[in-house]
Structure 1
Amino acid sequence: MKKYAYLLLFTAYFLTACQKGFLEKGPLDRFTDETVWKDSALVNLYVANIYSGIISEYDRAGDALSMSYTDEGEANRPYLDCQLVNFAQYNAATGVFSSSWTDNYTSIRKCNTLLEQLQSAPFSAALQQRMRGEAFFLRALFYMDIYQHFGAFPIIDKALGLNDELAVPRATNKACVDFILKDLEAAAAILPAKYTDLAQTGRATKGACYAMKCRLLLNELDYQGAAAAAKQVMDLNQYKLFPDFKSMFQPANDNNVEVIFDKQFGSLQSKQKHDLNSYEYPRNFTGFASGVNDPTQNIVDAFLMKDGKPWDQSPLYNPDHPYDNRDPRLYASVLYDGIMFRGEILDLRLGSAANPTDRGTPTGYYLKKFLDTTYDLKGLSVPNFNNCVIMRMGEVYLNYAECQLKLGNPEEARTYVNLIRARAGMPEILPGEMTWDKYERERTVELAFEGQRWADIRRWKKGPEIIGQPTYGMVISVVNGKRTYTRTKIEDRVFIAPMMYLFPIPQTVLNKYPAGKELVQNPDWK
């Protein structure tokens, strides 16, 4: 495969630079083109194109990130879909997360095509096997994204032709979960634990299969199964916590020891860029209406003081300096008033350069966690290439800890929560003091903004008490020369349980089904 490395990179460059969308427009996604399936280099490009279909948090840049659908964030654009969700003003016709249905099925079709064509591909059995494993993993990943947003889905496991029946009904929840698990297990049996060739960095691995299995089973409340999958990841001895939480998401640390699976931007696996830095940097750095998704006071309050106590219970809290003596992860995750960032002290008073009255931050905060601090701030034309982490060891430890709590093993849970806290520089939870509330807070701050909050809240059945509560921000002002901080309600949100735990299948999808074979809508969304 080394002899193809330069060819692939050269070809990928021109496919990206000169013919954006070439793989969708050309014959590479059609199994009738025999030329493609006889050339391993072209098939490799086809596989890379499937990787590019992964919908990561960074792909949502310029729109609402997942955080703004939960208590984690507030968008500074009133017309985004997250605002419809936050006020419960949406239905099937509004098409919330419609791309998560349509785009994932496009990618699933490509996986199915690949699996069928590999059966007769005239290149090495080892390469065929690896690609087959990748196809199983990626298909599972795309179906997991559909399942997370909409619940049960039509199972399509072959490349449908023009004469095939397109009106496939939704399967049961169990059938969907079993299908995803089958794909992950098939992939795990084939894929390596790691790749020795650096050119393969970013491809699916055995550990990625086990980790996604762990996430799926946890969300299905199968604590025994999820714990066993977490142990499978641990037993591979391929991953550990990256020592510095603050720099873990910086491009210099892409593919670090904690990353189990990510979307590789600017690489062979995706050949893409994203716009996260352009859209999420504070206004004073970009010169346009950036800072689209802004952390709430709700999430800031979740970060403990450095003595391990909540802000409203700790003697360390000073209302005149509310960000002093906090969990170090706050400083790595959120841009707040007075923080030093890229050589500037951020002034977030309303009307300042960083927080203008028109589309500034409605909460008094900006997102920091994923921002590339070396990013060349020249506007939207500058590509963003830092990778987006989709699964990391920190989440696996927390998943395992949650399982152990639910299974009645708090001391085992405490061990793994304390690993996370030690890395963050926070005091350990003492023997006998591991509670659910402490676990929930730890998960909230460790995984903040990473895209799993909605699934967590649904699993915990806490929609009304977390999402359906008011969101708050911080108003900064100067009175008689003294800087003051005032918690202020931003908005009242609505959560109508249980229908809102799943999004309605988009009406455009429902309309494609013929009379008598309609796709069944989610309960209460009819």
Structure 2
Amino acid sequence: MKISKYLILPAFAFALLACQKEGVLTNDTQTDIFDEDVWSDSIKTVQVLTSAYSGLGPESYMTRINTSNTLSEYSDESDERWSTTVPSTFTNTFQNGTYTASSIPAPFNTLWGDTYKAIRIINLFITRVDESPLSAKGKKRMKAEARFLRAWFYHILTKTYGGVPIIDRVLAVNEDLNLPRNTYEECVNFVTKDLDAAAADLPISYVGQDYGRATKGACLALKARVLLFAASPLFNGGQLAANKDAIYGYKEYSPNRWVLARDAAKAVIDMGVYSLMLGTNNDNSTAEGFYKVFLTRNNPEMIFMRLSGSNRSYESSHLPKSRGGSLHTSPNGNYVNTFPMANGKPIADPTSGYDPQNPYVGRDPRFYRSVIYNGATWKTTSGTFGPVYTYLNAPTDGLTIPFTSVGTQSGYFNRKMMSEDVTGSTGGAEHLFPFLRYAEVLLNYAEALNENGQTAEAYAPMAEIRKRAGLNPFNLPTGLTQDQMRTYIRDERRIELAFEEHRFYDIRRWKILPDTYCKPLRMMVITPKSGTITPLGTNYTYEERDFVKPPCPYNDNMYLLPIPQSQINISSNLKQNPGW
């Protein structure tokens, strides 16, 4: 495997020089990471590693959790409030497919550069931390943390672009910067090697001020995710390039890659450290554990996450206007339809008990923790609790056709990961954004088992997820075929991991864009019957329709994003992705 022993890519040569004048540590210091005194001061040395952590965030915005826009709006989970009425929005440009490698919309226009910037800091830390006065034990642990972080950022690059240039140490200014891309396989091997090495030197958990740092479990969970991607159709012999190139994925399919993904997920399970968060007194009937996992600082399910102090930024951005929010996200009706009934049966099953004219009764308990629908209760800004009305032309929050950017454009608002005691303008709660959580590990395990032909063994991890969800009965039907189990697993991922930045990449690695993202989004048109407006579902008629806006166009090149053309222009060895 060819690994470039440098720090940054050609476009960042100027950034290297700029960083020699720029403070990149904490907000209260202007110390530069290239100053020699950094490495003679233990506090400043630690700040370098902390600055690498600060680059973590949902892939939509690398340096922070952007609560107004998430990758859900670039997938089939939801639509962004402004994309219908303001043609120039980033989401509208992406959805219409009107971008090129020279005009990539945010947040993807900075993903390449921001990720390599983080890798640059990490490589510098690994190279120079031994010069610091930190203890030998501290240096060893922090080097392992840095290797985990480097693996994290390289996984972001590989799942977005395929193979990328591997750079594992500091660049000398006079070095050759014209670096080629490594193969996808080389990148996967590099990442898993970093994770194996880091796992050996990291603790299982932390207490006190170190809580939230990378752990052994985080290394193993990320490795399981990396190998799941490597085994998936897009990369496991299914690349769409006319002439298969090892840069974009493995040239040939190998079933053993599912074995590796299976074993990696099982290694996390076998640690015996993590479990799904349950409700009070282990009561799952209302999906209380599913709700609290995003709001409880210390819980057994979170493996690696972004912590925050008390705030209401998420509620402020996503709650409806009547609750002081900015209503940025309208969940897709097809996502809502994925939630089964409380008896575990899909709503399309004629024996499920689903009533299309009273569609919000008797659903999966997670539905009530994930979606604000017509008549759902939420706290008002005056402190009382009352129903939110999303019916056609309802005051403040209702659906409008055509959409006017004031209420919902789908008949729904998101409520997942938000505190039910907080409004967009009052109160606050500690929020946890999950980077890695145990529910994902179980779903990764179930998928790898099923794709490896072990469908019978996939029942157990699926049962854990569905039992915590409050489904009764929670067991799947017996005798499922591999294809049937695959559908259940993918639906569970869509429900359980919604709005956690998974769906955007899932529908790509599964190669199902034409059947998901490139289909029209759905809305629920709810019309009151004659009489007084009440939350009672039977007081309305319901009709599902497509969004007025057209679906996005589909092209094979959409599976991998383009490398910014500015990078290609200055690096003749940097090959662009197919179709861009």
User: In structure 2, what residue type is equivalent to 1:305?
Assistant: M
Which of 331, 353, 373 is residue 368 of structure 2 equivalent to?
A: 331
* SS at 1:341 equivalent: strand
Post-superposition offset of 1:249: 5.3
* SS at 2:525 equivalent: strand
Would you say how many aligned residue pairs link Structure 1 and Structure 2?
493
Structure 2: stretches of 5+ with no match in the other structure: 1-21, 232-256, 280-286, 380-384, 532-538
Equivalents in 1 of 2:312, 2:164: separation in Å? 29
User: For residue 473 of structure 1, what is the aligned residue in structure 2?
Assistant: 523
Equivalents in 2 of 1:37, 1:182: separation in Å? 27
Equivalents in 1 of 2:515, 2:268: separation in Å? 33
Structure-1-length-normalised TM-score: 0.87
Equivalents in 1 of 2:182, 2:221: separation in Å? 24
Deviations 1:469-496 (A, max 9, x none): 1110112222433422221111332353
User: For residue 184 of structure 1, what is the aligned residue in structure 2?
Assistant: 195
Post-superposition offset of 1:99: 2.2
User: For residue 335 of structure 2, what is the aligned residue in structure 1?
Assistant: 299
Post-superposition offset of 1:449: 1.6
Which of 480, 486, 490 is residue 433 of structure 1 equivalent to?
A: 480
Post-superposition offset of 1:21: 6.3
User: For residue 216 of structure 1, what is the aligned residue in structure 2?
Assistant: 226
Which of 208, 218, 223 is residue 198 of structure 1 equivalent to?
A: 208
Q: What are the equivalent positions in structure 2 for 1:71-470 lying under 5 Å apart?
A: 71-78=76-83, 79-96=88-105, 97-195=108-206, 197-221=207-231, 222-244=257-279, 245-248=287-290, 250=292, 252-266=295-309, 275-286=313-324, 290-314=326-350, 316-342=353-379, 343-349=385-391, 350-355=393-398, 357-375=404-422, 377-378=424-425, 385-426=430-471, 427=473, 428-433=475-480, 435-470=485-520
User: For residue 8 of structure 1, what is the aligned residue in structure 2?
Assistant: none
Post-superposition offset of 1:310: 2.1
Equivalents in 1 of 2:93, 2:53: separation in Å? 30
- Pair 1:406–1:312, CA change in 2 (3 A): closer
User: For residue 9 of structure 1, what is the aligned residue in structure 2?
Assistant: none
* SS at 1:107 equivalent: helix
Equivalents in 2 of 1:509, 1:360: separation in Å? 41
User: In structure 2, what residue type is equivalent to 1:335?
Assistant: I
- Pair 1:495–1:412, CA change in 2 (3 A): farther
Which moves more between the two structures, 349-358 or 392-401?
349-358
User: For residue 559 of structure 2, what is the aligned residue in structure 1?
Assistant: 501
- Pair 1:107–1:385, CA change in 2 (3 A): farther
User: For residue 550 of structure 2, what is the aligned residue in structure 1?
Assistant: 492
Equivalents in 2 of 1:20, 1:375: separation in Å? 36
Identity of paired residues, percent? 35
User: For residue 70 of structure 2, what is the aligned residue in structure 1?
Assistant: 65
* SS at 1:93 equivalent: coil
Structure-2-length-normalised TM-score: 0.80
CA contact (8 A) 2:446 2:458 kept: yes
Equivalents in 2 of 1:294, 1:408: separation in Å? 37
Post-superposition offset of 1:62: 4.9
User: In structure 2, what residue type is equivalent to 1:466?
Assistant: T
Equivalents in 1 of 2:162, 2:573: separation in Å? 17
User: For residue 12 of structure 1, what is the aligned residue in structure 2?
Assistant: none
Post-superposition offset of 1:145: 1.2
Post-superposition offset of 1:324: 0.5
Post-superposition offset of 1:29: 4.6
User: In structure 2, what residue type is equivalent to 1:405?
Assistant: N
- Pair 1:147–1:385, CA change in 2 (3 A): farther
Deviations 1:483-514 (A, max 9, x none): 22221111332353421111111233334x25
Deviations 1:16-40 (A, max 9, x none): xxx9965489664523x23221222
CA contact (8 A) 1:259 1:391 kept: yes
Post-superposition offset of 1:167: 2.9
- Pair 1:43–1:194, CA change in 2 (3 A): same
Equivalents in 2 of 1:74, 1:30: separation in Å? 40
Post-superposition offset of 1:125: 0.6
Equivalents in 2 of 1:430, 1:274: separation in Å? 41
Post-superposition offset of 1:304: 0.7
Equivalents in 2 of 1:508, 1:384: separation in Å? 42
Question: What's the C-alpha RMSD, in Å, of the aligned pairs?
Answer: 2.5
Equivalents in 2 of 1:158, 1:359: separation in Å? 50
- Pair 1:418–1:62, CA change in 2 (3 A): closer
- Pair 1:249–1:324, CA change in 2 (3 A): closer
User: In structure 1, what residue type is equivalent to 2:166?
Assistant: I
* SS at 2:102 equivalent: helix
User: For residue 14 of structure 2, what is the aligned residue in structure 1?
Assistant: none
CA contact (8 A) 1:95 1:507 kept: no
Post-superposition offset of 1:220: 0.9
Equivalents in 1 of 2:31, 2:267: separation in Å? 36
Post-superposition offset of 1:261: 0.6
- Pair 1:220–1:156, CA change in 2 (3 A): same
Equivalents in 1 of 2:139, 2:461: separation in Å? 38
* SS at 2:129 equivalent: helix
Deviations 1:31-84 (A, max 9, x none): 3x2322122222222222211101226845354311111111111112432322
User: For residue 13 of structure 1, what is the aligned residue in structure 2?
Assistant: none
